């Protein structure tokens, strides 16, 4: 029968009579070998053996040993509270110490309300609480977030005149601080003259957890003697609030006053270094750690891996990772996250696969780290597997960012319908989930879908943020909805008080430029209250190429080169503009500039997932094991395209002066290779999904439209900018991109 306190407190003690305390001197007890026996005990089986041993030796009649036995059951992580109660119930007149131990056990348990029940029982049986009882009671109140009861217990303390006990005093402050009653915590603190580092820190932690860092800092500066816990409270407070510079400043100060950091300090500091990319400090901390032989501390090792990866030293991170003999889930997660963070998506996937081979169970953080890699690579099968896994093992999971990541993954893998399904299935839709859904629709060229969703969001009374408007404005841009775009742009500030950032200006300039409204685009650039960045000049330049605007194109390019002298794509665009205007001398001049600056073309690269494996193709790639079959298919495609009347448009190849390379370059663009591979390695009618690192060229776009018709395949292509759904000879972008 499971004993509950209420049923247990029947005090059926007739079976045992506890004799009076023995006269064994205390000093003898302290060194008794049985004490180390108990402290080494790791499970109840062993405990029961020790218990019966104690009974044989007659030690159980001694109050000291009795308390040790109950204490083990009540508070050891290997103990058993019900068993503690069982022993307790055999004792006729339990001492206050035993009552307190039991209260402590329940206060630490998952049912802290029982600690309060036992306290009431204790008092109702005529026992008085002492100064030891109250810290346990306050701990229970904190865990229960029970402000009312906490105040009653506080009243009790005052009645008994125990408020000046330093332990009780601190536990009252801690309790009020942890249940969010900072005013009370402050009053207790201010009224008393008991102000040591501990009570200061208790209050500081309260302020920190409510985000009142300035208030916390004021107190921190007043502490007469700060110990390492005080420093940690403040440093980790800054770090968790995103004030990483402040965290590191404080850490430097801590070193100057010669307080030795401990594990917590180092973890906070490494996290701040990771966020700031502060590699130098990170390395100093790393050598400090290894100098003290702390390198094998798993928490620190994981934090170091994270720091190195986020600071760009991914190989150092990897060798640390490989050096850990017994990794935990965090080790795997930070390594995967490090690769994702550094855009090394294939490596992220490889570590994930390794993790599965070693039978390590992934968790939600693993998925949060691996999903962006799936999204970037278009690894839809793995993404789907993760979705199924989450549904199976994390059903009802509250981690809303995981759902947001899944929506984003589906959208970026070209499965906008699946993205919608996940989104619609969400009971609670966080703003980020709305945002990824809106930009997902925008990416897929469903401008009206995105705008409708935005209206729904507003109807639900949710306040959109700057990211929402990036989605809305880019939807308008992809759809060529100029007037609507203008309206949303002005509505941002007016109706939602979201001031436009550079990206919003970028969306608008792209929208206006692509619609050929150069005067408006120029006017917007000139009236902006911030300096235009490369992306803005780049999209203006791109628009100038589409609309053959030589003059503005030259200007935009000159501005862009001042910011990004090595932007190869920009030289190409400008060269295309010159070529379109027949200005061959200028084309040649650009060619020379490229050579002089040693700029290499970013190779076009397209990936396609077949049978859960992501295959990558570069321009004119001949490295694929099925290369021969692919090129055979490519010839077949070109033959059928020609028959269908497709004439390659060579106006965009002029920038490429390499004549022999130019030959056939169009038909060997990476997306065509990927499509050819997709056609030969999937069943007829299967949708092909491809991901390209650059923007699709107009040639491939025209060709892909025809391929979709000739081979009766839906082809979903993601380029640098957006999705194109090719079907039946048409593209969802309506040739506006």
Partner DNA sequence: ATAGGGTTAG
Q: Is 347 a residue that touches DNA (CB under 7 A)?
A: no
Residues 267, 318: Cα–Cα separation, whole Å: 19
Taking the complex as a whole, the smallest distance from the CB of residue 221 to DNA amounts, in Å, to 14
Q: Is 389 a residue that touches DNA (CB under 7 A)?
A: no
Nearest Cα residue to 418 out of 375, 361, 480: 375
Binding mask 23-62 for DNA (x = CB under 7 A): ---x---x--------------------------------
Residues 694, 605: Cα–Cα separation, whole Å: 7
Q: Is 339 a residue that touches DNA (CB under 7 A)?
A: no
Q: Which residues pair with 651 in a beta bridge?
A: none
Q: Is 90 a residue that touches DNA (CB under 7 A)?
A: no
Residue 349 near residue 337, CB atoms below 8 Å = no
End-to-end CA distance of the chain: 72
Q: Is 127 a residue that touches DNA (CB under 7 A)?
A: no
Site for DNA in 239-278 (CB under 7 A): 262-264, 267, 271, 274
Taking the complex as a whole, the smallest distance from the CB of residue 433 to DNA amounts, in Å, to 14
Stretch that binds DNA, among 327-335, 409-417, 483-491, 567-575 (CB under 7 A): 327-335
Residues 12, 15: Cα–Cα separation, whole Å: 8
Number of separate helices (H) and strands (E) present in the chain: 40, 6
Lookup result for tokens 């705008």? 451
Q: Is 97 a residue that touches DNA (CB under 7 A)?
A: yes
Residues 6+ apart with CB under 8 A from 727: 708, 714, 715
Residues 553, 543: Cα–Cα separation, whole Å: 8
Lookup result for tokens 């395209």? 641
Q: Is 236 a residue that touches DNA (CB under 7 A)?
A: yes
Altogether, the residues listed in the chain come to a count of 737
Residues 153, 155: Cα–Cα separation, whole Å: 5
Residues 6+ apart with CB under 8 A from 231: 250, 254, 259, 261, 265
Q: Is 399 a residue that touches DNA (CB under 7 A)?
A: yes
Q: Which is nearer to DNA, 219 or 541 (CB)?
A: 219
Stretch that binds DNA, among 345-353, 361-369, 386-394, 589-597 (CB under 7 A): 361-369
Q: Which residue of 246, 306, 621, 652 would you call a contact of DNA, by CB under 7 A?
A: 306
Q: Is 110 a residue that touches DNA (CB under 7 A)?
A: no
Q: Which residue of 401, 620, 693, 732 would you call a contact of DNA, by CB under 7 A?
A: 401
Q: Which residue of 22, 61, 95, 391 would you call a contact of DNA, by CB under 7 A?
A: 95
Q: Which is nearer to DNA, 340 or 539 (CB)?
A: 340
Stretch that binds DNA, among 226-234, 449-457, 573-581, 694-702 (CB under 7 A): 226-234
Taking the complex as a whole, the smallest distance from the CB of residue 295 to DNA amounts, in Å, to 15
Q: Is 140 a residue that touches DNA (CB under 7 A)?
A: no
SS3 content of the chain, % helix, strand, coil (to 5): 65, 5, 30
Number of residues that bind DNA (CB under 7 A): 69
Q: Which residue of 122, 179, 188, 198 would you call a contact of DNA, by CB under 7 A?
A: 198
Which 3 state secondary structure label does DSSP give 642? helix
Helix (H) or strand (E) holding 3: none
Q: Which is nearer to DNA, 269 or 525 (CB)?
A: 269
Residue 261 near residue 269, CB atoms below 8 Å = yes
Lookup result for tokens 């060997």? 668
Q: Is 227 a residue that touches DNA (CB under 7 A)?
A: yes
3-state secondary structure labels for all residues of 401-424: HHHHHHHHHHHHCCCHHHHHHHHH
| Pair type for strands 605-610 and 730-731 | unpaired
Q: Is 136 a residue that touches DNA (CB under 7 A)?
A: yes
Helix (H) or strand (E) holding 168: helix 166-178
Stretch that binds DNA, among 117-125, 278-286, 363-371, 476-484 (CB under 7 A): 363-371
The region, left, alpha or beta by phi > 0 then psi within -120 to 50, assigned to residue 331 is: alpha
Q: Is 129 a residue that touches DNA (CB under 7 A)?
A: no
Q: Which residue of 132, 288, 394, 555 would you call a contact of DNA, by CB under 7 A?
A: 132
Q: Which residue of 59, 71, 182, 380 would you call a contact of DNA, by CB under 7 A?
A: 71
Nearest Cα residue to 266 out of 241, 297, 243, 242: 297
Q: Is 433 a residue that touches DNA (CB under 7 A)?
A: no
Stretch that binds DNA, among 183-191, 343-351, 360-368, 587-595 (CB under 7 A): 360-368
Q: Is 409 a residue that touches DNA (CB under 7 A)?
A: no
For every residue of 612-631, DSSP letters joined together read TEEEEEETT---STTHHHHH
Q: Which is nearer to DNA, 221 or 659 (CB)?
A: 221
Q: Which residue of 76, 316, 333, 681 would you call a contact of DNA, by CB under 7 A?
A: 333
Taking the complex as a whole, the smallest distance from the CB of residue 443 to DNA amounts, in Å, to 22
Q: Please give the residue ranges that form the binding site for DNA (CB under 7 A).
A: 26, 30, 63-64, 66-67, 71, 95-98, 100-101, 104, 130-133, 135-136, 139, 165-171, 174, 178, 194, 196-202, 205, 227, 229-230, 232-233, 236, 262-264, 267, 271, 274, 299, 302-303, 306, 310, 329-330, 333-334, 337, 363-365, 368-369, 399, 401-402
């Amino acid at each position: 029968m499971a004993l509950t306190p209420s049923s247990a407190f029947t005090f059926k003690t007739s079976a045992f009579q506890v004799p009076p305390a023995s006269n064994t001197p205390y000093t003898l007890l302290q060194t008794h070998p049985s004490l180390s026996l108990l402290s080494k005990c790791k499970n109840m089986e062993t405990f029961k053996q020790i218990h019966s041993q104690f009974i044989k030796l007659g030690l159980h009649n001694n109050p000291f040993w009795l308390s040790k036995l109950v204490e083990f059951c009540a508070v050891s992580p290997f103990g058993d509270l019900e068993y503690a109660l069982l022993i307790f119930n055999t004792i006729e007149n339990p001492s206050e110490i035993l009552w307190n131990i039991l209260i402590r056990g329940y206060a630490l348990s998952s049912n802290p309300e029982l600690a309060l029940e036992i306290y009431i029982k204790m008092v109702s049986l005529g026992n008085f609480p002492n100064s030891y009882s109250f810290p346990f009671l306050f701990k229970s109140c904190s865990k229960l977030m029970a402000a009312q009861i906490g105040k009653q217990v506080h009243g009790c303390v005052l009645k008994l005149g125990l408020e000046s006990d330093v332990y009780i005093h601190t536990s009252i402050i801690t309790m009020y601080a942890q249940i969010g009653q900072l005013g009370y915590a402050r009053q207790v603190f201010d009224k008393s003259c008991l102000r040591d580092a501990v009570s200061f820190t208790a209050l500081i932690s309260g302020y920190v957890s409510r985000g009142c860092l300035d208030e916390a800092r004021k107190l921190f500066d007043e502490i007469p003697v700060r110990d390492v816990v005080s420093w940690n409270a403040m440093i980790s407070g800054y770090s968790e609030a995103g004030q990483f510079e402040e965290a590191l400043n404080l850490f430097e100060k801590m070193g100057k006053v010669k307080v030795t950091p401990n594990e917590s300090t180092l973890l906070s500091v490494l996290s701040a270094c990771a966020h700031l990319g502060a590699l130098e400090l990170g390395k100093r901390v790393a050598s400090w750690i290894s100098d003290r032989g702390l390198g094998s501390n798993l928490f620190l090792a994981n934090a170091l891996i994270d720091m190195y990866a986020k600071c760009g030293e991914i190989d150092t991170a990897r060798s640390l990772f490989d050096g850990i003999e017994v990794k935990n889930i965090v080790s795997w997660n930070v390594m995967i996250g490090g690769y994702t963070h550094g855009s090394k998506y294939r490596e992220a996937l490889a570590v994930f696969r390794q993790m599965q081979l070693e039978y390590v169970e992934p968790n939600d953080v693993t998925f949060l780290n691996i999903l962006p890699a799936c999204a970037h690579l278009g690894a839809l099968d793995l993404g789907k597997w993760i979705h199924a896994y989450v549904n199976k093992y994390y059903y009802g999971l509250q981690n809303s960012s995981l759902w947001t990541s899944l929506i984003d993954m589906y959208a970026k893998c070209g499965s906008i319908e699946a993205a919608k399904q996940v989104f619609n299935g969400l009971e609670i839709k966080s703003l980020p989930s709305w945002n990824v859904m809106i930009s997902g629709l925008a990416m897929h060229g469903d401008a009206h879908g995105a705008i409708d969703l935005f209206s729904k969001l507003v109807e639900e009374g949710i306040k959109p943020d700057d990211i929402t408007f990036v989605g809305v404005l880019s939807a308008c841009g992809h759809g060529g909805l100029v007037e609507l775009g203008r309206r949303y742009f002005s509505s941002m500030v007016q109706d939602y008080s979201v001031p436009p950032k550079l990206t919003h200006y970028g969306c608008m300039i792209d929208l206006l430029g692509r619609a050929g409204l150069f005067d408006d685009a120029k006017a917007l650039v000139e009236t902006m209250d911030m300096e235009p960045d490369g992306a803005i000049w780049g999209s203006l330049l791109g628009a100038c190429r589409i609309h053959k605007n030589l003059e503005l194109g030259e200007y935009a390019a000159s501005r862009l080169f001042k910011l990004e002298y090595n932007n190869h794509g920009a030289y190409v665009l400008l060269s295309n503009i010159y070529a379109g205007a027949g200005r061959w001398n200028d084309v040649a001049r650009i060619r020379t500039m490229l050579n002089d600056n040693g700029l290499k073309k970013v190779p076009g690269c397209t990936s396609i997932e077949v049978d859960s494996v992501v295959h990558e193709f570069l321009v004119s790639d001949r490295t694929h094991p099925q290369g021969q079959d692919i090129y055979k298919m490519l010839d077949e495609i070109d033959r059928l395209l020609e028959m269908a009347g497709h004439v390659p448009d060579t106006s965009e190849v002029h920038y490429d002066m390499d004549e022999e390379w130019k030959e056939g370059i169009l038909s060997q663009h990476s997306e065509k290779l990927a499509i050819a591979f997709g056609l030969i390695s999937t069943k007829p009618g299967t949708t092909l999904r491809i991901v390209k690192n650059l923007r699709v060229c107009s040639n491939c776009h025209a060709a892909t439209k025809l391929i979709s018709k000739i081979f009766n395949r839906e082809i979903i292509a993601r380029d640098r900018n957006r999705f194109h759904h090719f079907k039946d000879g048409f593209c969802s972008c309506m040739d506006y991109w």
